[in-house]
């Protein structure tokens, strides 16, 4: 589990330039598999690695897709079934 969490931190950190101090806004949906992201946020793992991450929960695919399309999110984390559903938009 720690290896996966470390990978998430590295991937998020890689998306941010070293000179930028902006917050990375990620959209999530309720799913137990995203628990490590919330644990990392609560335990300060992102901040310890110089990354400011805002996690936002969405209950519906359409709301999450709209927030991403409008630029209110920088990225999203989704499970494989959500990827298949979003392909139809």
Q: What confidence tier does 32 reach under pLDDT thresholds 50, 70, 90?
A: confident
Asked if 51 and 16 touch (Cβ cutoff 8 Å), the reply is: yes
pTM of the model: 0.63
Q: Is the pLDDT of residue 19 over 60?
A: no
**Residue 70: per-residue pLDDT:** 94
Q: How far apart are CA 68 and CA 50, in angstroms?
A: 24
Q: Pick the more confident residue, 31 or 46.
A: 46
């Amino acid at each position: 589990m720690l290896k996966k969490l470390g990978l998430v931190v590295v991937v998020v950190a890689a998306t941010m330039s070293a000179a930028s101090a902006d917050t990375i806004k990620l959209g999530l949906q309720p799913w137990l598999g995203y628990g490590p992201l919330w644990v990392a946020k609560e335990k300060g793992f992102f901040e310890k690695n110089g990354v400011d991450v805002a996690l936002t929960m969405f209950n519906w695919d359409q709301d999450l897709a709209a927030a991403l399309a409008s630029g209110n999110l920088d990225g999203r984390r989704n499970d494989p079934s959500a990827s298949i559903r979003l392909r139809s938009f």
